[in-house]
């Protein structure tokens, strides 16, 4: 699989909040294992959209009940791989499931019988938009990954930057706030 672009902290920092946690009957204070699913969005060299689900915590007590289902939409057959996190014998393993959306819209549901999450996509001739209940991101066929942070959070940050800019003295600090304001205004205009 030749990946052209994939979400990461640099190109989609707000997408890092897209992880799903399953922790029913887990005492985290006692270091009991819980399940975390980190979704990644990308494009292959031929612009085929790719949704990768990384599952960490395979020893989670309700993992036998855990299901990932393509509830709506179509995908090429999903690929599933299991990897070792470290090089040591007996080190934790994680699972990676890769979907290749082909329909204009679709929903992947993740559930352990106690909590259920959805990963939705909308595919066009130019891009794929992927959303969760917390955030959204675009993998554009020409521009690559486009982060779409929450509009209301952006507005709070804009208000703060405008207030700091008014009381800040100095050319360098003013340029910093101008850059941050321009970035947030651009993101808000995309939504």
pLDDT of residue 188: 61
Residues of the chain with pLDDT under 70: 87-90, 149-155, 184, 187-191
Q: Is 132 left (phi over 0), alpha (psi -120 to 50) or beta?
A: beta
Structure tokens at 170: 């100095």
pLDDT of residue 158: 73
pLDDT of residue 190: 56
Give the tens place of pLDDT for each residue, 163-182: 877 887 777 877 887 887 78
């Amino acid at each position: 699989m030749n990946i052209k672009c994939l979400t990461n902290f640099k190109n989609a920092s707000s997408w890092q909040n897209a992880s799903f946690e399953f922790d029913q009957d887990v005492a985290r204070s006692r270091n009991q294992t819980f399940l975390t699913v980190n979704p990644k969005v990308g494009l292959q060299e031929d612009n085929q959209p790719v949704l990768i689900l990384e599952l960490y915590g395979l020893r989670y007590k309700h993992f036998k009940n855990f299901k990932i289902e393509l509830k709506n939409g179509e995908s090429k057959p999903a690929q599933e791989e299991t990897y070792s996190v470290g090089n040591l014998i007996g080190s934790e393993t994680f699972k990676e499931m890769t979907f290749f959306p082909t329909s204009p819209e679709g929903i992947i549901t993740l559930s352990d019988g106690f909590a259920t999450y959805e990963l939705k996509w909308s595919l066009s001739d130019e891009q794929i938009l992927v959303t969760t209940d917390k955030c959204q991101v675009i993998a554009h066929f020409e521009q690559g990954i486009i982060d779409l942070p929450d509009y209301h959070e952006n507005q709070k940050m804009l208000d703060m930057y405008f207030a700091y800019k008014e009381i800040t003295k100095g050319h360098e600090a003013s340029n910093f706030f101008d850059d941050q304001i321009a970035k947030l205004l651009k993101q808000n205009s995309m939504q």
